Chains A and B, each alone.
Chain A
Amino acid sequence: MGRYVDTVGSRGVSAPARAMASGGSGWLAEAWALLLKDLRAELRTKVALSTVGLFTFSSLLLLSLATATLKEKLALDPLTNQMRPAWDAAGKMGLLWLLLCFAAFSGLSHAFVHEEETGTVMALRLSMSAGAVYAGKLAFNLLILFAVALVVTPVFMLITGMPLGAPIVFLIVMVSGCVGLAGAATIVGALAAKARGSGALYPAIGLPLLVVFLLLLLNAANTTFIVHPPALRLVRDIGGLLSYGILLITVSALTFSFVWED
């Protein structure tokens, strides 16, 4: 079986079909087509967005109830020997990302599980390369995470009083975090979907991968909220976070074809 060919004609042909029928555009066009297909389906059903968003907001509500008195407490910083807020900015950012991690692992498995459940896996396998499928699904998960983070972060900052710090650095940390989280969620989603285990399998095998990611994120968060941090420290800490995500995505891309094959 070759590539998908739209037999309807140029009028009324969707952008994904045109991209694929044009031929010669390789896996990038295939990935783009898959992303558009998933986005279109998501905008119709809003399954992933609603699952991830609802989980995050519910957790945020519980968090604000649980930490209502924590904001006023002070603690002794062992490094500087001075009193500081018990719940500092870096701690708040860590908690934000914990929320986003759990939200991701409650909702992002949908990308592959849906294909298995509806039986469209074979159609994808026949019409696209494994690399294109991985790229498309990764891009979809990344967009979902960006959308959720864009909405949740300001609300979290309002509720907890987390400062912005240096805006550019804050933005880079959030983007790097989304990249790492999407990378882990995508490959684990593919593994869990193929294993056809219970819904608990996805977070069970995915969350241990994220512990290291969270450690690096907390470290980057500490740097984000320092006033005028040295450039080397910025490059080291935030570069470390971003490179972890890129490494994870690279290995996932190299091994995805083995997961995808039947």
Chain B
Amino acid sequence: MAATQTRPPAPKMPEPPPSRHTPVPPLRGAWWKWGLGALMAYVIYGAFFIAKGAVNFTEDGNTARIVFFHVPCAILSYVAYAVAAVYAILYLTRDRNLQTDAKSATGMELGFLFCILATITGSLFAGVMWGSYWNWDPRETSIIVMLLLYASYLVLRGAVSEQPEKRARLAAVYTLVALIPATFLIWVVPRLPWLQSLHPTTTLVRPANTSLSYKAVLYPSFLAFTLLFVWMFQLRYRLLQLMARKAGRLENE
């Protein structure tokens, strides 16, 4: 009988080039993160002590303070979906690179987080403004359906977690198919003339509706939350890369 043959060692996966930074977005270094911290501290301080007055809110203006947190979260939940959709298209049509899929997944995960924050802050506003935390207002309905779309995406990814390529394909397709109801919820529902909504619509659109002190906090809050999104995107994407690298190492042991 032939002697027992030992299996040749499995070929090692080539190590990806080391990089502390993600290619997109291009912000690097720590300087902008310190700046973000200072900006966010200013926004929080300004929301309670600097900003005064906006139309369509209570007379004392206190209900308008949540706008500095609610509106950026709502906008970013939609931006995150757009980012995820772009990477989904790139994955399917260009490179089939799992790093592109990781960026799409990161966008959807952050979109889910910001959607939750927008729902909670919006609900708090509704409770104070209209006496009821949930009214099935068209805006409230659309944000909760967005939440369901994000959650479905995460459920689908979780169902195929052992097969990265298949998971990436199916998740990308679902992102694009769900883009239709998402677009309808984001752009169409708020503008349907027959849907009466309690949600303020013109406060931030017309500059005359907000005071100078309000604008002095509002615009920095948009910038601060956008930079926060970028930072969280970088962190989450880097974490996914490290997890993928570790999984590749485990398979080769």
Contacts and interface: CB of A to CB of B under 8 A. Distances in A.
Chains A and B are bound partners: yes
B83 interface: no
Contacts of B173: 187, 191, 255-256, 258-259
Contacts of B180: 212, 244, 247-248, 251
Interface residues of A, number: 28
Q: Which residue, of B148, B176, B180, has the highest number of chain A Cβ atoms within 10 A? A: B180
A252 B177 contact: yes
B185 A194 contact: no
Interface in A198-240: 198, 201, 204-205, 207-209, 211-213, 215, 219
Contact of A251 (B153, B166, B177): B177
Contact of A194 (B145, B152, B170, B189): B170
Interface stretch (B44-52, B53-61, B154-162): B154-162
B236 interface: no
A205 B176 contact: no
A205 B181 contact: no
B169 A251 contact: no
A197 interface: yes
Contacts of B181: 208-209, 211-213
A197 B178 CA distance: 19
A15 interface: no
B174 interface: yes
Interface in A163-217: 187, 191, 194-198, 201, 204-205, 207-209, 211-213, 215
A261 interface: yes
Contacts of B179: 251
A195 B159 contact: yes
A211 B145 contact: yes
Given A211-B145, A251-B180, A259 B170 contact: yes
B130 to A, nearest CB: 15
Interface string A108-126: 0000000000000000000
A255 B159 contact: no
Contacts of A211: 145, 148, 181
Interface residues of B, number: 28
Interface string B135-156: 0000001000100110111011
Interface string B66-98: 000000000000000000000000001000000
B194 interface: yes
A152 B173 CA distance: 33
A219 B155 CA distance: 30
Contacts of B185: 212
A255 B176 contact: yes
B159 A248 contact: no
A169 to B, nearest CB: 18
A247 B181 CA distance: 10
A219 B92 CA distance: 35
B172 interface: yes
B184 interface: yes
Interface in B20-56: none
A209 B155 CA distance: 14
A144 B172 CA distance: 28
Contact of B148 (A191, A208, A213, A251): A208
A219 B151 CA distance: 26
Nearest to B147: A208
Given A195-B170, A201-B155, A211-B148, A255 B194 contact: no
B215 to A, nearest CB: 34
Contacts of B151: 208
B170 A208 contact: no
Contact of B169 (A187, A197, A204, A258): A258
A32 B92 CA distance: 28
B78 to A, nearest CB: 15
B172 to A, nearest CB: 7
A234 B189 CA distance: 18
Contact of B152 (A204, A219, A259): A204
Contacts of A256: 173
Interface in B174-201: 174, 176-181, 184-185, 189, 194
A196 B158 CA distance: 11
A194 B92 CA distance: 16
A195 B170 CA distance: 8
16 contacts: A194-B170, A197-B156, A201-B156, A201-B159, A204-B155, A208-B148, A208-B152, A209-B152, A211-B145, A212-B145, A215-B189, A244-B180, A244-B184, A248-B180, A258-B173, A259-B170
Given A194-B166, A201-B155, A208-B181, 13 more contacts: A187-B177, A191-B156, A191-B170, A197-B160, A198-B159, A208-B148, A209-B149, A209-B181, A248-B177, A255-B176, A256-B173, A258-B92, A258-B169
